Amino acid sequence: MQRRSRLTAVLSAGVLLAALGPATSVRADAPVSNRASLKQDLCYQIVTDRFFDGNTGNNNPTKSPGLYDSTKANWKLYWGGDFAGIQAKLAYLKNMGVTSIWISPHVDNIDKSAVYGGTANAGYHGYWARDFKKTEEHFGTLAEFDALIAAAHSNGIKVIMDWAPNHTSPANPADSTFAEAGALYDNGTFLGNYVSDPNGYFHHNGGITNWDDRYQTQYLNLADLADLEQQNATVNNLLKTDANYWMDRGVDGVRVDAVKHMTAGWQKSFADTVLSHKDTTLFGEWYLGSQSDPLYADNVRFANTSGISVLDFYMNIAMRNAFGSGGSMTALDAAITKTGQDYKYKENLITFIDNHDMSRFLTLNNNQSLLHQALAFMLTVRGTPCLYYGTEQYLHNDTSGGGDPWNRPMMPGFSETTTAYQVVKKLSALRQTNPALAWGTHQQRWMNNDVYIYERKFNNDVVLVAINKGASAANITGLNTALPAGTYSDQLTGTLGGGSLTVTSGSGGNNPANAFTLNAGNVAVWSYHPGEPSTPQIGSVGPTLTRAGNTITVEGRGFGASGTLKVGGVTASTTSWTANRIKATVPAGVAAGTASVTVTTSGGTSNGYDVINESAAQVPVTFTVTNASPTSVGDNIYLSGSVSELGNWSTNKSVAIGPMLAPNYPTWYVTASVPACTTIQFKFLKITSGGAVTWENGTNHSYTAPCSGTGSTTVGWQY
């Protein structure tokens, strides 16, 4: 309740309702260390149905009988895994060093099957929701869901829910009897379906054919999945209210499904709703087909501005190439450099070797040594590592290339002695003790096609990693490191063949390491973690999207016992202060836009860490301009306006809102997240492929955003 009264002070009643939804019982904060950042975490991705059957009583529920296959012959039916099964295996996960579990969507999925080519397909994966406010009965009751969260928290494990607001379920517009026709329910009450949609809950534009087309990806169906219209007032409210309902039940973070397929504007307003309700973290699935995906820049912009980080597909491709397909370490290093330049919050990216939508690593290359190397890399490179369930048990099924559904076998066992399990356990422990891994810079120190030696560094904390994926031993000479002079033992204790390293003193942060041999397939990890520094050093601030009255968590070293925390130069009130973590309330009066967070103690002032300070609570508004200036191929229309959310009149195409969409050229539109209850001035502009900027003429357009819900405005281009 304390949280509500603080919010009340800064929000109007209407906005408060939009942000919080109807009254729900707000539960106590989870006893996990920091929900506002995953950077020190080891995440573990679970397909609930395929992990462990902890309650056979829910395998063939009366609500939706016949969707369970006890023989596990049909890979598209339920196989029995459930919330109770995950709960039963929490000790196994905790012992491996897992600190957060991302579970497949837990909400009620369709009760019928979708029959394709004569084969029944159930929503065992969770991505075919019918009711976002109920648990799926094959996974368990609400009480079992609550019990899983409580047990996870008592093991120090966060629970990240997979939230799929892009769509409901498979629908055939010509056949209302196919599957559940995309039906949407609100806590048990039927709202509508895709075949009969008088209220406009869905888009009716057919299925995506061009996955590189910005308009198609957002406004057409993902295959035959009934595509929700998030700007519909009912849909908008349901998706936000229900997400907050689960946050109130104790969920710690959100993985947002298919973020490439919804507008960035609606998603930023969604992030604001959740982040203003609870101290938490969001990351999205923006699938990249390749490193030259035409929508890569949109993906970067989304990650940098929406308050939702992304799963690191760019690095995933690089890791699979290097360790799985014989690619070079040089290319892997180039991927780190490239993403480091593009993503503003690169440490917030979620790194992964494989997931439920691609072949498992061992299908790609059935070589356990290379898998161990890839794991060591993933656990020591920037970003939060997310391990796909079963990888530590060498799980893979190579049928037809091992993609969906063959990448989702039943968990084969729970051995804690496999080498993979031990590698993960040792490096997760290091991640939690040496902040160089969570917050530090990345520097390539020695490299050829097979050998990669890199250093992570957070001020005086240093981790040096050496990997040789080649078939022959490498003689390492001329290696420099920031590790101070001394001898360092391998943090993997020789599990992957590493030995100790002796460093002598040099200058300028380049201390020569004695020559050594790194044998084929070996990995060594050396660490230096000195005591608290005298000057404060910020490593992380989360969430990165915030506003007055919201809580931010600042992590770093040398904060001492007290001091001053400022956001954009304005002193913030703090609610807790320890040497490594401060919680503060974002003060009023900070200029909207990028704001730097600093900590000052008697030892000095820290580095600044940027967050995005919103003008106010956010609502999604669709801006349409008709009869816009004629464009040639490659030219685009953008929106710019008087608030930071609309770029403060910027004509820079990574700041102004766009590119806008023109399926009905020359009408263009875009959904932007703007401050609620606020009058905004705006205009449209053309930016040609060559970068030439032309504003429309006339006076500024004016629009007052609603205090809650969604909005829209249509104007004609002024010639």
Nearer CB in complex with Ca ion: 54/587: 54
Nearer CB in complex with ligand NOJ: 164/474: 164
Cβ of residue 589: shortest distance to Ca ion, in angstroms? 49
Footprint of ligand NOJ on residues 255-274 (CB under 6 A)? 257-258
> Binding residue for ligand NOJ (CB under 6 A) from 700, 712, 713, 718?
700
Nearest CA to 240 among 200, 212, 203, 282? 282
Catalytic residue among 49, 197, 242, 257: 257
Catalytic residue among 136, 285, 392, 450: 285
Footprint of ligand NOJ on residues 637-696 (CB under 6 A)? 649, 683, 695
Assign 3-class secondary structure to 113-136: CEEECCEEECCCCCCCEEEEEEEC
Please calculate the CA angle 203-205-211 and round it to the nearest 5 degrees.
Answer: 105
Cβ of residue 698: shortest distance to ligand NOJ, in angstroms? 8
Nearer CB in complex with Ca ion: 64/99: 64
Nearer CB in complex with ligand NOJ: 285/450: 285
Determine the Cα–Cα distance for residues 122 and 81; give it in Å rounded to an integer: 14
Cβ of residue 82: shortest distance to Ca ion, in angstroms? 12
285-324 mask for ligand NOJ (x: CB under 6 A)?
Answer: x---------------------------------------
Helix (H, G, I), strand (E, B) or coil at 151: helix
**Residue 92 interacts with, from ligand NOJ, Ca ion, none (CB under 5-8 Å by kind):** none
Stretch that binds Ca ion, among 60-68, 92-100, 183-191, 314-322 (CB under 5 A): 60-68
Determine the Cα–Cα distance for residues 393 and 93; give it in Å rounded to an integer: 12
Helices (H), 211-320: 214-219, 233-248, 264-277, 296-305, 313-319
Closest residue to ligand NOJ using C-beta atoms: 127
Determine the Cα–Cα distance for residues 203 and 271; give it in Å rounded to an integer: 22
CB 469, CB 487: distance < 8 Å: no
**Residue 483 interacts with, from Ca ion, ligand NOJ, none (CB under 5-8 Å by kind):** none
Structure tokens at 19: 């942000």
Asked whether position 53 contacts ligand NOJ by CB under 6 A, the answer is no
Determine the Cα–Cα distance for residues 255 and 250; give it in Å rounded to an integer: 15
Closest residue to Ca ion using C-beta atoms: 64
Cβ of residue 129: shortest distance to Ca ion, in angstroms? 10
Structure tokens at 124: 């065992």
Q: Which residues contact 470 (CB under 8 A, 6 or more apart)?
A: 449, 450, 451, 520
> Binding residue for ligand NOJ (CB under 6 A) from 29, 175, 212, 357?
357
**Residue 631 interacts with, from Ca ion, ligand NOJ, none (CB under 5-8 Å by kind):** none
Determine the Cα–Cα distance for residues 615 and 256; give it in Å rounded to an integer: 24
Please calculate the CA angle 388-390-391 and round it to the nearest 5 degrees.
Answer: 65
Determine the Cα–Cα distance for residues 701 and 716; give it in Å rounded to an integer: 10
5-44 mask for Ca ion (x: CB under 5 A)?
Answer: ----------------------------------------
Asked whether position 64 contacts Ca ion by CB under 5 A, the answer is yes
Is residue 347 flagged as an active site residue?
A: no
Determine the Cα–Cα distance for residues 98 and 332; give it in Å rounded to an integer: 26
Determine the Cα–Cα distance for residues 421 and 236; give it in Å rounded to an integer: 42
Strand residue runs (E) in 371-494:
384-388, 441-447, 451-458, 461-468, 474-476, 480-481, 486-488
Determine the Cα–Cα distance for residues 708 and 103; give it in Å rounded to an integer: 31
Give me the residue label for tokens 């930016």. 687
Asked whether position 222 contacts ligand NOJ by CB under 6 A, the answer is yes
Cβ of residue 17: shortest distance to Ca ion, in angstroms? 30
Assign 3-class secondary structure to 358-399: CCCHHHHCCCHHHHHHHHHHHHHCCCEEEEECCHHHCCCCCH
**Residue 64 interacts with, from Ca ion, ligand NOJ, none (CB under 5-8 Å by kind):** Ca ion
> Binding residue for ligand NOJ (CB under 6 A) from 44, 51, 124, 127?
127
> Binding residue for ligand NOJ (CB under 6 A) from 106, 138, 301, 356?
356
β-strands 667-675, 661-664: how paired?
antiparallel
**Residue 566 interacts with, from ligand NOJ, Ca ion, none (CB under 5-8 Å by kind):** none
Residue 38: CB atoms within 10 A of its CB come to 30
Footprint of ligand NOJ on residues 439-478 (CB under 6 A)? none
73-112 mask for Ca ion (x: CB under 5 A)?
Answer: --------------------------------------x-
Cβ of residue 126: shortest distance to ligand NOJ, in angstroms? 8
Cβ of residue 531: shortest distance to ligand NOJ, in angstroms? 43
Determine the Cα–Cα distance for residues 110 and 581; give it in Å rounded to an integer: 43
Is residue 257 flagged as an active site residue?
A: yes
**Residue 555 interacts with, from Ca ion, ligand NOJ, none (CB under 5-8 Å by kind):** none
Asked whether position 175 contacts ligand NOJ by CB under 6 A, the answer is no
388-417 mask for ligand NOJ (x: CB under 6 A)?
Answer: ------------------------------
Nearer CB in complex with ligand NOJ: 373/644: 644
Give me the residue label for tokens 């330049």. 341
Residues in the site for Ca ion, rule: CB under 5 A? 64, 111
Residues in the site for ligand NOJ, rule: CB under 6 A? 125, 127, 164, 222, 257-258, 285, 356-357, 649, 683, 695, 700
Which of the residues are catalytic?
257, 285
